[in-house]
Amino acid sequence: MPREHLLKIGVSGVRGVVGEFLTPSLTLSFAQAFGTYVGGGRVVVGRDTRTSGPMLQHAVHCGLLAAGCDVVDVGVLPTPTMQIYVEHIRARGGIGLTASHNPPEYNALKLFNAEGQFFNHYERNELLDLYHQRDFAQAQNAAIGHVRRDDGTAKSIHIGRVLAKVDADRIKRRKFKVALDAVNGAGSVMTPEFLTDSLGCRLDAISIDPTKVFPRIAEPRPDTLGDLTALVQKSGADVGFAQDPDADRLAIADETGRVVDNDDVLALAVLRALAVVPGDVVVNLTTSSAIDDIAKTFHRRVYRTPVGEANVVDTMRAVRAAIGGEGSAGGVIFPAVQLCRDSYIAMAFLLDLMAETGQTVSQLVASLPAYTRNSGKVPFTHGRLGGLMQALEEGFPEAEADRSDGLKLIWPDRWLHVRASNTEPLLRLAVEARDGERASALYDTAWKLLTSL
Amino acid sequence: MRGDSGLRISPVGLRGIVGRGLTATHFLDFAAAFGTFIERGRPVVVGRDPRSSGRMAREGVVSALMACGHEVIDLGVVSTPVVQHALQRLDAAGGIAISASHNAAEWNALRFLGANGTYLSTAESNELLDIYHLRKFRFVEWDSIGTLREDATAIERYIDDLEQVFDFAALRGMRVVVDCCNGTSAPTLRRIVDRFGLDLVLINERVEGDAFAHEPTTSARMVELQLGPLIQPLQARAGFLFDIDSDRVAMADDLGRGVSEEMMLPLLADHLMTHTPGRIAITNLSSSALLEEVAAKHGGRVVRVPVGRQAAMDALAAYRPEQIAVAGEGTGAVMMPQFRFIYDGIASMLAVMTMMRERGQTVREILASYPRFEILKGEIPLESPRVPALLMDLQDDYPDARIDRSDGLRVSWPDRWFHVRVSQTEPILRVICEQRGEAPSALFESLMDKVRSYS
């Protein structure tokens, strides 16, 4: 495995392989930098179900107490739930210990501001500088705060906000049969009661034991959700839901067990959200053009951002968007609940659409604007990226070029996006077109160009 | 030169003023060094005194130990002796007591304990320090990380251990006043009162973290100041004052007068050697020569070693436990073999009470039966480079005496002695001088003059 995989300290926080790389010492220092940055007061700390979570949480507590903060320990909790709670109790900020969809040997610190949102680009840089400068606040004895546990309230606050944006009675009347795979993650402590008690679903669940390790690859993708497909087929469920370890992302299986494309999951959420609240849509450059078509029917604009949740969130905040997300990553961001990826509003929106239209999941997906998408990865050598991008742009002089994140080339009926991965020496190539053959042709041409250089 | 932060990283452990030199990272990294040092497979026990900074230190210590793959058992706010007792009961590989003991509230420290509950030996401490400085900690992978559990029964089990040694029923009705100084002695003593009906009058009993009722110094002056006015009105037989983690105790007599901390060791040696004659008493070069007289009375003898806990631990390891009657310092810190050779103020108090009951005498009456020694102590700031020349010079001044150079310079005659040494904690030279009968004023003044001439 390349070395850059193992530890990354950057503007999005700290992430790495626990043990030799992501150590408790480093975690403590980052937490103390965070406590210094927010200037004392209450900080919410929670985690997903990784085995390293409790150990790292103690290090985070230590750093926060040393900086003069009080800690509110919410234990195992979905990331969006934690973010909502930070804002609800008017804390100075929050730290979530979760490496999201990364494998179990990883962990990371997600940092939230007083609104329970990601810090903006400038704040993230300031925090990183503070971490490197190591000029931390150092509380003396009488200024050391307390660690307080709160197990109860956060979940009901989150669920309450979600229910306010859907017709829960309509959903309950349908008594949907739902299959769930929570990957033994943070969703395990909340999703079953959300689906059964709040939405009246009949539940058939697997992997909802938060004390156990992840039984599958943590990222919910078609090739990792074989168990969910089997569960849907066995139990005859109307729909299958799969979460990642911190329950911010959602994957959906239709009533046949087929895993729905993440772009279509987002498109259905946008469809529902624009019917409920006013505002525009923000998605990343790699998200399907189906979003543009849907927004057009509501007379709404679509803003495109570089890939990355933080980039989408920054723009959503700036334009007061109604909804946003990243098709490729399976994240639905609905600010009326909270400005963060939230699998719960995504589940509720889909069930609400099903209840309203009486359609099955496969029928709903089929009703979306039809596009064909192709994507793949190309290894590249550092230092050659500029030349590759230049060659691509010159190879398609008739296309409109967007250079804000790698290179996106846009035609009226199709587009191509190439960008370097943040974590690996790989180029990610994505192509979309209305016509399947044109998509394949464009993908093959671009692939040849990239690999021939 | 050591600054005002008081930060000190040494074989004895880690200590300093929290937030002013002593940081969260120090706590976590030092605990990680300990987690790397001790064997895996058996639990590690953690306890802390009530200082507020202990909440912070505890989080870092727990995290580091878990990261090294250890099961951590947290005893919560308990005295250092309680942690030491729990180690054997829980079959632990080692323990960490988070406590600055008799220092002011702003201080904190880590004390490292081996599997048997005693402090680490010099060799072990040096190895631990090397690991800390190298910072190559043995953090385990994600699927081997340790767990944490809490044990709230430690105080009760510790009292069970006390009950094996002391006849509590016999101590009922002996009223003593105790100043807990808002420390960890309070919950233990309250439980002893409830369980055995002892007549202990407790003051400053509320356990506090931000500040204490007074400096937690276990000196004769402090105990007289705090308990002097209470003892006679309450018709108490004695008064005791504990530091924050109750490893030390100071004592006042039935008239409310502070008893010199120097007297605790000879007193307990007398008591213990009465039951086990012919054994050894281990102490340092600076404590009262009364100990030699007491030991001789019971056919025992005294082994003197350099000042500091480390030297005492190494000396203890050089003898079989059944050869030793007692070990301790002139500060009032005493270890007893029945109690696994740990400094334990509560055990010392119970031993003194037992001695009073057995002899039917007060501490004042017992001390009056001992030969009189007068001790004089002084300290003078001195630049370290000049110390060796001064000590050579002093040694040459007294060709007729017995010389011990194992820790500074100790010069002794049959009826008097003096000890000049560099403090381990401050840039000062300590001068201690004792004589049977009259105070050795002339000798003391000439020593102080000599030291001053070098400063």
Q: Is A53 on the interface with B (CB under 8 A)?
A: no
Contact yes or no for B367/B267 (Cβ under 8 A): yes
Looking at residue B1, its pLDDT comes to 38
Q: Is B105 on the interface with A (CB under 8 A)?
A: yes
Residue A440 is a catalytic residue:
no
pLDDT digits (tens, 9 = 90+) for B352-363: 999 999 999 999
- Digitized pLDDT (tens) for each residue of chain A, 453 residues in all: 444 568 888 767 799 999 989 999 999 999 999 999 999 999 999 999 999 999 999 999 999 999 999 999 999 999 999 999 999 999 999 999 999 889 999 999 999 999 999 888 888 899 999 999 999 999 999 999 999 999 779 999 999 999 999 999 999 999 999 999 999 999 999 999 999 999 999 999 999 999 999 999 999 988 999 999 999 999 999 999 999 999 999 999 999 999 999 999 999 999 999 999 999 999 999 999 999 999 999 999 999 999 988 899 999 999 999 999 998 777 899 999 999 999 999 999 999 999 999 999 999 999 999 999 999 988 877 777 888 888 889 989 999 999 999 999 999 999 999 998 776 778 899 999 999 999 999 999 999 988 886
Q: Where among B353, B368, B383 does a domain terminate?
A: B368
Q: Is B147 on the interface with A (CB under 8 A)?
A: yes
Domain harbouring B227, CATH code: 3.40.120.10
Question: Which positions 244-283 of A are in contact with B (Cβ < 8 Å)?
Answer: none
Instruction: Measure B109 CA to nearest chain A CA, in Å.
Output: 12
* B345 in the same domain as B360: yes
Residue B1, in any domain of the structure = no
Instruction: Measure A14 CA to nearest chain B CA, in Å.
Output: 16
Instruction: Measure A54 CA to nearest chain B CA, in Å.
Output: 8
Cβ <8 Å between A140 and B146? no
* B91 in the same domain as B222: no
**A52 chain-B contacts, CB cut-off 8 A:** 142, 145
Q: Where among B228, B243, B258 does a domain terminate?
A: B258
Q: Is B192 on the interface with A (CB under 8 A)?
A: no
Cβ <8 Å between B24 and A62? yes
Contact yes or no for B223/B251 (Cβ under 8 A): yes
Looking at residue B7, its pLDDT comes to 87
* B37 in the same domain as B126: yes
Mutate to test the interface with B, among A61, A62, A106, A184 (most CBs of B within 10 A): A62
Q: Which of A245, A264, A253 has the alpha carbon at shortest distance from A105?
A: A245
**A98 chain-B contacts, CB cut-off 8 A:** none
The chain A residue lying nearest B141, using CA atoms, is: A19
Residue B377, in any domain of the structure = yes
The chain B residue lying nearest A57, using CA atoms, is: B63
* B12 in the same domain as B52: yes
What does the alpha-carbon distance between residue B201 and residue B236 come to, in Å, rounded to a whole number?
Answer: 9
Instruction: Measure B135 CA to nearest chain A CA, in Å.
Output: 10
Q: Is B48 on the interface with A (CB under 8 A)?
A: no
Looking at residue A252, its pLDDT comes to 97
**B140 chain-A contacts, CB cut-off 8 A:** 19
The chain A residue lying nearest B55, using CA atoms, is: A146
Question: Which positions 201-230 of B are in contact with A (Cβ < 8 Å)?
Answer: 209-211
Q: Which of B241, B196, B245 has the alpha carbon at shortest distance from B222?
A: B241
pLDDT digits (tens, 9 = 90+) for B143-154: 999 999 999 999
Report the 3 state secondary structure along chain B.
CCCCCCCEEECCEEEEEECCCECHHHHHHHHHHHHHHCCCCCCEEEEECCCCHHHHHHHHHHHHHHHCCCCEEEEEECCHHHHHHHHHHCCCCEEEEECCCCCCCCEEEEEEECCCCCECCHHHHHHHHHHHHHCCCCCCCHHHCCCEEECCCHHHHHHHHHHHHCCHHHHCCCCEEEECCCCCHHHHHHHHHHHHCCCEEEECCCCCCCCCCCCCCCCHHHHHHHHHHHHCCCCCCEEEEECCCCCCEEEECCCCCEECHHHHHHHHHHHHHHHCCCCEEEEECCCCCHHHHHHHHCCCEEEEECCCHHHHHHHHHCCCHHHEEEEECCCCCEECHHHCCCECHHHHHHHHHHHHHHHCCCHHHHHHCCCCEEEEEEEEECCHHHHHHHHHHHHHHCCCCEEECCCCEEEECCCEEEEEEECCCCCEEEEEEEEECCCCHHHHHHHHHHHHHHC
ipTM of model? 0.91
**A56 chain-B contacts, CB cut-off 8 A:** 63
Residue B412, in any domain of the structure = yes
Residue B3, in any domain of the structure = no
Cβ <8 Å between B63 and A51? no
* B338 in the same domain as B364: yes
- Average pLDDT in chain B: 94
Instruction: Measure B65 CA to nearest chain A CA, in Å.
Output: 9
Is it the case that residue B36 has pLDDT exceeding 80? yes
Cβ <8 Å between B59 and A143? no
Instruction: Measure A103 CA to nearest chain B CA, in Å.
Output: 11
Is it the case that residue B2 has pLDDT exceeding 80? no
Q: Is A211 on the interface with B (CB under 8 A)?
A: no
* B95 in the same domain as B18: yes
Residue B245 lies in domain: 157-258
Mutate to test the interface with A, among B139, B212, B244 (most CBs of A within 10 A): B139
Looking at residue B427, its pLDDT comes to 80
Q: Is A105 on the interface with B (CB under 8 A)?
A: yes
* B197 in the same domain as B84: no
Q: Is B17 on the interface with A (CB under 8 A)?
A: yes
Mutate to test the interface with A, among B63, B70, B149 (most CBs of A within 10 A): B63
Domain harbouring B393, CATH code: 3.30.310.50
Residue B30, in any domain of the structure = yes
Total domain count for chain B?
4
Domains within chain A, CATH numbers bracketed: 3-151 (3.40.120.10), 157-366 (3.40.120.10), 372-452 (3.30.310.50)
Region B115-134: what's the mean pLDDT? Answer: 90
* B382 in the same domain as B253: no
Is it the case that residue B310 has pLDDT exceeding 90? no
| Token pair of A179 as six digits | 């299959």
Residue B239, in any domain of the structure = yes
Residue B227, in any domain of the structure = yes
**Which one of A12, A29, A100, A198 is the catalytic residue?**
A100
The chain A residue lying nearest B58, using CA atoms, is: A62
Instruction: Give the pLDDT band of residue B217 (cuts 50, 70, 90).
Output: very high
* B295 in the same domain as B332: yes
* B321 in the same domain as B239: no
The chain A residue lying nearest B209, using CA atoms, is: A142
Cβ <8 Å between B60 and A62? yes
Could you say which of B20, B24, B66 has the minimum Cβ distance to residue A54? B66
* B128 in the same domain as B233: no
Looking at residue B454, its pLDDT comes to 87
Q: Is A218 on the interface with B (CB under 8 A)?
A: no
Q: Where among B322, B344, B368 does a domain terminate?
A: B368
Residue B292, in any domain of the structure = yes
* B297 in the same domain as B246: no
Looking at residue A3, its pLDDT comes to 44
Region B305-318: what's the mean pLDDT? Answer: 88
What does the alpha-carbon distance between residue A439 and residue A441 come to, in Å, rounded to a whole number?
Answer: 5
Q: What is the identity of the amino acid at A442?
A: L
